[in-house]
Amino acid sequence: MTQSVVQRFTVSLAGGSVFAALAAIMTLAKASIPFPLIPYLQIDFSEIPILIAFFLFGPVSATISAVIQWIFLNVQGSDAPLGPMIKLIAIMSMLGGFAFGNVLYKRIRHDGNRPALAISLMFGGGMLWRVVAMTLVNYVVLLYVGPVFFGADYLGFAKFTLEQTTGWRFGNDFMVLGYTLIFTAVYNIISLIVAAIPAGLIITPVTKSFKHITSVEAWLVRSTRS
């Protein structure tokens, strides 16, 4: 590897570790709010540092942050092992969607730099991948993982929760499952927005001096230009 690649990897590794620590601190501080329609789902602000790591250092750094947070959640015992695993899948699918959007941008941009298009494709990819992945995960958890592996009626609990928050009455499990998956998709879209917008606002001024501080250009700048 060239010196620049080694330097970039070293900076990414260090950055991922730093922002993982910040995410862990925010987790300990319970920096989250319940999603009103399904209160057991928490809109978690600890995703913000992970996205900052992604925008500044790239997918490798953000993945390191996400995995370290997953380990921390398991050690802490926050609904482990299922809760941390679902959290990791949500974050990794979002990061994968961002990365896919970036690859798609490089294929269709033609000549010239189009930052708005790059960001739109990354944002759309992250949203789509997260919603699809979490819809599938929640379907499996509600119908199979809960009753088979944990002996718990997750769908029944979801029905009780929805009836409490909406005031509706559900006649069958199919309706409960459908509305739970729809509301969970809305929750994941909101979670992405709540994390991505602050992360973007934070890194916007930082990117101007990032290369001077680290000798490495911010990943988002490289990606929207290349």
pLDDT along the chain (226 residues), means of 10: 66 87 90 95 96 93 94 85 95 97 89 85 97 98 94 95 96 96 98 95 81 74 77
What's the confidence (pLDDT) of residue 155? 96
The structure tokens listed for 170 are: 């559900």
Neighbours of 10 (CB within 10 A): 12
Domain extent for 180: 3-225
Query: Quick one: pLDDT at residue 5?
Result: 66
b/e map 182-193, b = 16+ CB within 10 Å: ebbbebbeebbe
CA 188, 191, 194: angle at the middle one, nearest 5?
155
Structure confidence at residue 218 (pLDDT): 84
110-to-26, 58, 115, 117, 128 alpha-carbon distances in Å = 41, 23, 13, 12, 24
Q: Which CATH number goes with the domain that contains 55?
A: 1.10.1760.20
Residue 30 DSSP one-character state? T
Overall domain count for the chain: 1
Of 3, 56, 51, 5, nearest to 217 (Cα)?
A: 56
Which is nearest to 115 in space by CA: 225, 22, 5, 3? 225
Count the Cβ atoms, other than its own, within 10 Å of residue 59: 17
